[in-house]
């Protein structure tokens, strides 16, 4: 459904609770259309394996957020946005 409406997007924020082939492919296809993306993958605190981003280029910001630490992990992004404004 997202890809069907990709032509109407000026950018997207994707929040995933799982990082699998289908989600990687969705991000790949959106990035191939040069849609600016911020991708957030939420993981449990006991997960040792970190999700890996693809090689999509500068159009994609990829962030892994650990449950229970999300606020502190988002704080640097908030500061970055405040400086950019």
Residue 58 makes CB contacts below 8 A (sequence gap 6+) with none
Please, which pLDDT band fits residue 17 given cuts at 50, 70 and 90?
Answer: very high
Distance of CA 82 to the CA centre of its chain: 19
How far apart (Å, rounded) are the C-alpha atoms in residues 22 and 70? 24
The predicted structure's pLDDT at residue 85 = 63
Kindly state the tokens that stand for 60: 């994609």
pLDDT at 57: 65
Token pair, residue 85, equals: 């404004």
Structure tokens at 7: 């032509």
In whole angstroms, what is the distance from residue 35 CA to residue 19 CA? Answer: 19
pTM of the model: 0.85
Q: What is the pLDDT of residue 11?
A: 94
Range 31-38 average pLDDT:
92
User: What mean pLDDT do residues 15-29 have?
Assistant: 94
pLDDT, tens only, 36-84:
999 999 999 999 898 988 787 667 899 999 999 999 999 988 767 666 6
């Amino acid at each position: 459904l997202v890809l069907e409406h990709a032509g109407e997007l000026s950018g997207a924020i994707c929040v995933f609770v799982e990082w699998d082939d289908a989600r990687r492919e969705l991000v790949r296809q959106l990035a191939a259309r040069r849609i600016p993306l911020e991708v957030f993958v939420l993981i449990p605190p006991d997960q040792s394996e970190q999700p890996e981003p693809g090689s999509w280029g500068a159009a994609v910001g990829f962030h892994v957020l650990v449950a229970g630490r999300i606020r502190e992990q988002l704080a640097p992004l908030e500061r970055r946005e405040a400086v950019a404004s």
